Chain A
Amino acid sequence: MLSRVADNLYWMSRYLERAEHTARLVDVNLTLMLDEVGEGSERRWKRVLDALAYQGEHGSLTDGYQIAQELAFSRENVASVTFCISAARENARQVREQISSSQWQRLNRLYLQVTRKEGADEGGEAQLSDFLLSVVDGIHLFQGVTASTMSHGEGWHFIRVGRYIERAQASVNLLKVFHREFGAHAEKSLDGSDYLEWIGLLRSFGAFEGYCTAYTADLNPDRILEFLLLNPDFPHAVRYAVDSLRNALEAVQGDGRLRRAAALSRVAGKLQSSLNYGQISEILERSVQDYLEAILRQCNEIHSLIYEIYIHYSIESALVS
């Protein structure tokens, strides 16, 4: 496969994952806004922006609805759902002969849907929420179409690499921001507003039902952290994402023809082990922030190595092997 194509598929997938994550996060926080007003809401939107590594001004922070609008529809703001979908579609357009026609049509339709929505929509929160959910739906459809119409070869593996590295990073970012604020007084039993915040966190991962199945509806901060970080079965848990990432990377390497890929194997394996064999008590005893920070660092390293090995390698290194 052409390096450029791998690059485009990787980013197409990352952008879609990012759009889904953002859409869900914004929708959850819109719902939470209903339950209270004032300071709580403002802090919450600040967290959302932090978790999305939002670069712009935080000026209009008081108006949650406006922030949500911006994060949904803005065409210029790189953090917005619309921007991410446009970027994913642009990446797909560059390689449209590499994906199936159904995939392209699905993504193109999603793109037309979100870009047509922009500007015309002043319909209020219910409509905004509908929009966000329809985006999540559209992305799920795209993933279904991808799984069932695309060859499960190298391109498919790169799509998975993109999806899971993005998911791991976005999830860890969100956990980090959330934990910084609520982790310190997590000892207390959850009541009132905090209770809502923790539910919000679970919902941001689409994990409320998953958590209840595993631990009952009895919300406990340590368990929530354990579930979101270390659960091997839940698709939006960090461990699940990293397992899948490792798996996809191995598949990309195939029969291991590239000696240059050894470094990548090592870093990904190390990250996976730390999640597979890590225990929540241990992590809590040391520093959750450090632990999360380390995961982010390793994800970045994996990203750089992917580029070094598959995409921007030097001619000399390739001619030798």
Chain B
Amino acid sequence: MGKTSPGGIYFTAMAVPEIQEFGISGLQSYQFDEIYDEMFEGPSQVREHYRPLFETLMALPAEEIRRRKHSADVSFLNQGITFTVYGRREGTERIFPYDLLPRIVTNAEWSRIEQGLTQRITALNLFLKDIYHDGKILADGVVPREVVYSCKQFRRQMRGLQVPRDVYVTVIGSDLIRLPSGEFVVLEDNLRVPSGVSYMLNNRRVMKRIFPQLFRRYGVRPIENYTQALLGTLRSLAPSQGRGEPTIVLLTPGVYNSAYFEHAYLARQMGIELVEGRDLLTHDNKVYMRTTTGLRRVDVIYRRVDDDFIDPLAFRPDSGLGVAGLFNAYRAGNVTLANAVGTGVADDKALYAYVPKIIKYYLGSDPILNNVETYLLTDEAQRNHVLANLDKLVVKAVGESGGYGMLIGPASTAEEREEFRARIVADPRNYIAQPTLGLSRAPCLTDEGIQPRHVDLRPYILFGEKVTIVPGGLTRVALRKGSLVVNSSQGGGSKDTWVLNS
């Protein structure tokens, strides 16, 4: 009965008797190969910390699992937990796909992640301060000037501008992946307006309702304090002018933004106003919001609008989402923007290759979390290597996010490769290449039973007076079989992430 395929080893019920009991035809064609699997060490070998989940799955009838899944779906639909997909009819809402089985991270794994991210963010923040002030790291030749100055996200308007507490990046979502060796590495940093944290919080709420016993049995570290920590972080960054309790607002592009649900959710959970650009105005370099009882001064803006759109006078003049005069008020120190303007230069995919050096330069230590090997296409030797191996590599546009503008070599057609080749030759600074990575896989509940799917992990880091990382994050899943793209805009889903107490 056992059969093998070129890609990996499939095992059947024959191989592991206990699995036959599982109601859903389930694990019968569960795929094993060199890729790291979150639940199994190997066929029939369940990892220790996944054992309670595995046992629960074995014990529950298929019908019961489907019922719980259905109950979760209904809960998401009725709450309208949706996101918007671009490129279709404007304002199309979809439910965020959600997988029922939690991804479990041990305490030891987590504390390494936590230390690594703290180190990384501290260094990147020092880097931002440096390049917008003295530029020591550039003068010392650790990072080439042209990488920084050629970056579209570099904002010369920020030169010499003092930001509160020298904190540029307040909210960060870094994407981690697990390699076949089991090591977590950083795939990219999101230092501009990372999203997804509301899904993390909602996933947890739903999971607690669906697997209460299992949850209790595991001893999962709580994440519910995230919004409170975010509020505290924002408050600690208020301009210090003795104005008493600062007024904090969340600036959203509006309901047509793909993350609008999250903006509304966070504002509500923090008890702050959710404002759009049209709600704010500036007068005398101060920012006000328009309320029914008159104008009210604003001190801190947690903005979820990109730099480009935030102030039509300072940046893109065609922006209807921003506030005219906001940047001047910011420059005058009358209002705090979180994140600061111009942080995108540090999550540029070409700059990413230099992050280990940046950490070493500012902190004098080696990175705790490694990078993925990255080819810079401005370097001729590396470019030639990449162009010769397009079918094996992943090519990414440096300024894009959300899985747009990507070429996945092994899954691409010859035409796509030709198109990217032309684009790379025309503008090498705009692309980087990385090896096709074996993202780890975690078990998911699919139509064909329990199947492994590729996952990543996006923890959320808060940086104000101190660094706070709630234990867990958003585990994103490439729900399509074989797919490596986990972005929600590209058919990805999510699952709850449990960091264990011990």
| Chain A residues close to B by CB (< 8 Å) | 1-4, 6, 93-94, 96-97, 101, 104-105, 108-109, 154, 158, 252, 254, 257-258, 310-311, 313, 315, 318-319, 321
Contacts and interface: CB of A to CB of B under 8 A. Distances in A.
Contacts of A319: 283, 295
A217 B273 CA distance: 53
13 contacts: A1-B292, A2-B275, A2-B290, A2-B292, A94-B254, A94-B255, A97-B264, A101-B79, A105-B78, A154-B292, A252-B292, A258-B294, A310-B292
B237 to A, nearest CB: 22
Interface residues of B, number: 24
Contacts of B432: none
B160 interface: no
A2 B295 CA distance: 9
A108 to B, nearest CB: 5
B291 A104 contact: no
Nearest to B249: A2
Interface in B258-279: 264-265, 267-268, 273-276, 278-279
Nearest to A6: B292
Contact of A4 (B264, B265, B278, B293): B278
B80 interface: yes
A318 B294 contact: yes
A1 B295 CA distance: 10
B294 A321 contact: yes
B49 to A, nearest CB: 34
B291 A315 contact: no
B104 interface: no
B39 interface: no
Dominant SS among interface residues on chain B: mixed
Contacts of A4: 276, 278-279, 290
Contacts of B290: 2-4, 313, 318
Given A2-B279, A97-B264, A105 B292 contact: no
B171 interface: no
Dominant SS among interface residues on chain A: helix
Contacts of A257: 293
A76 to B, nearest CB: 16
B279 A3 contact: yes
B300 interface: no
Contacts of B79: 101, 104-105
A312 to B, nearest CB: 9
Given A97-B268, A108-B78, A315-B283, 17 more contacts: A2-B275, A2-B289, A3-B279, A4-B276, A4-B278, A6-B292, A93-B255, A96-B80, A97-B264, A105-B78, A154-B292, A258-B293, A258-B294, A311-B292, A315-B281, A319-B295, A321-B294
A1 B291 contact: yes
Nearest to A154: B292
Most A CB within 10 A of own CB, among B79, B267, B294? B294
Contacts of A105: 78-80
Nearest to B290: A3
A94 B252 CA distance: 11
Interface string B284-302: 0000011111110000000
Contacts of B80: 93, 96, 104-105, 108
